[in-house]
């Protein structure tokens, strides 16, 4: 069986778009905690250890809009 066929259904290709419009592509397993996507914030909250693509019912090709959380400052 070819690698692409073996990975089908196990991995997702997701795109993370920053507030500045930059896009980064990730290939992740469906059960990977989204907190492992460095610096991503989903729906204005930090992803906790229980949130995974399965929990959010994500599909291959989905996009995550990320933002920067600022605490304090002027």
pLDDT computed for residue 13 by the predictor: 93
Residue 39's nearest CA partner among 62, 71, 67 is 67
Torsion of CA 2, 51, 35, 4, to 10 degrees: 10
| Predicted confidence (pLDDT) at residue 15 exceeds the cutoff of 50 | yes
Q: Which residue has the higher pLDDT, 71 or 2?
A: 71
Q: What proportion of the chain, given as a percentage, has pLDDT over 90?
A: 12
- For the range 66-72, what are the long-range contacts, defined as Cβ-Cβ under 8 Å and sequence gap of 24 or more? 66/16, 66/17, 66/18, 66/19, 66/39, 66/40, 66/41, 66/42, 67/18, 67/19, 67/41, 68/18, 68/19, 68/39, 68/41, 69/41
Q: What is the CATH number of domain 3-65?
A: 3.10.20.90
Is the pTM here over 0.85, yes or no? no
Of 18-22, 37-41, 61-65, the least confident: 37-41
pLDDT computed for residue 46 by the predictor: 54
Taking the domains of the chain in order of start, what are their residue ranges? Answer: 3-65
């Amino acid at each position: 069986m070819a690698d692409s066929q073996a990975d089908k259904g196990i991995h997702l290709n997701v795109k993370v778009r920053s507030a500045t419009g930059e896009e980064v592509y990730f290939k992740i397993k469906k059960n990977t905690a989204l907190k492992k996507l460095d610096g991503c914030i989903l729906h204005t909250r930090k992803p906790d250890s229980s949130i995974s693509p399965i929990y959010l019912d994500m599909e291959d090709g989905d996009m995550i809009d990320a933002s920067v959380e600022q605490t304090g400052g002027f």
